[in-house]
Amino acid sequence: MFKKILLPVDLQEESSWQNALPVALRMAKDDGAELHILTVVPPLPGQIYGYFPEDFEPKMIDQGKAAIEVFAKEHAGGTKVVPHLAQGQPYSAIIDLAEKISADLIVMGSHRPELKDYLLGPNAARVVRHASCSVMVVRK
């Protein structure tokens, strides 16, 4: 049914993937699909760049690439896994990569909404509203 599944993860927050990863792996294995795992490095606010060394951003990106590759290898479970790293706002990066790889499905974790999420809108809600493919939100 699915050929390419995208799983966005926050490597700093296990709750972003602990429930969604097993679902995505099972679906990929059952369908013989590729599992694309994405982590997003958010942009630093412009006004604080002067407080970091010049090479901070490239180092941060290199560390992120290495970390997502390790994560993908550790959690592949015999499934073909393709790691990705993007920069920017998480929901935009998720939607952009899903379109770029022609994903059939985005599987993402969510958390119990807090008041701030109702006011600002969580990434999962934005992805659900704007993705051109199916989105499965896995709750705890």
Give the mean model confidence (pLDDT) for residues 11-40: 93
Query: Is residue 58, in this structure, part of any structural domain at all?
Result: yes
Asked if the structure places residue 2 within a domain, the reply is no
**For the chain, what is the mean pLDDT?**
86
Q: How much is the average pLDDT of 118-126?
A: 63
Q: Count how many Cα atoms sit within 13 Å of the Cα of residue 89 in the half-sphere of its side chain.
A: 9
Domain that holds residue 86: 10-138
pLDDT of residue 78: 85
CATH number at residue 117: 3.40.50.620
Q: Which of 20-34, 36-50, 88-102 has the lowest mean pLDDT?
A: 36-50
pLDDT at 111: 65
The pTM for the full model equals 0.86
Residues shown for the chain: 140
Tell me whether residue 1 is in a domain. Answer: no
